[in-house]
Amino acid sequence: MAEWQRARLIPVSGIGSEQEAETRATSTLLAVVEAVRDLSTGMFAPLGASKAQKAEVRCYTEVPFKLGAGKNASRPDGLVQITYGKST
């Protein structure tokens, strides 16, 4: 996870292109989801995520995922990770 970029309320990416603007908006939204517990609970509890107050919500942007054995990678705009106890 060292290479994963945590979502930030005030992103540090540039503002020179539409892609950079999208990255900034995604980072801001995910930072708010991470910070506002009622919002993350409302969004993710129906999907089976823990509603416990001690559940940890972490949000990341531009997380690379390797597909298969090749060098192909997918890079979704964001990732939300909810951990409670040993469940993630």
pLDDT tens, residue by residue, 74-87: 778 899 999 999 99
Please determine, for residue 66, whether its predicted confidence score (pLDDT) is greater than 90: no
Domains in the chain, number: 1
In this structure, is residue 88 part of a structural domain?
no
Whether 2 has a pLDDT exceeding 60, the answer reads no
Domain span including residue 54: 5-83
- DSSP secondary-structure letter at 26? H
- Outline where DSSP puts E strands in 1-88: 5-6, 56-61, 65-66, 73-74, 78-83
Does the pLDDT of residue 1 top 70, yes or no? no
Residue 38 lies in a domain: yes
- Residue 73 inside a domain? The answer is yes
- Predicted TM-score (pTM) of the model is 0.76
Within a domain: 66: yes
Q: Per-residue pLDDT tens for 13-51?
A: 666 777 777 888 899 999 999 999 999 999 999 999 998
Whether residue 25 lies inside any domain: the answer is yes
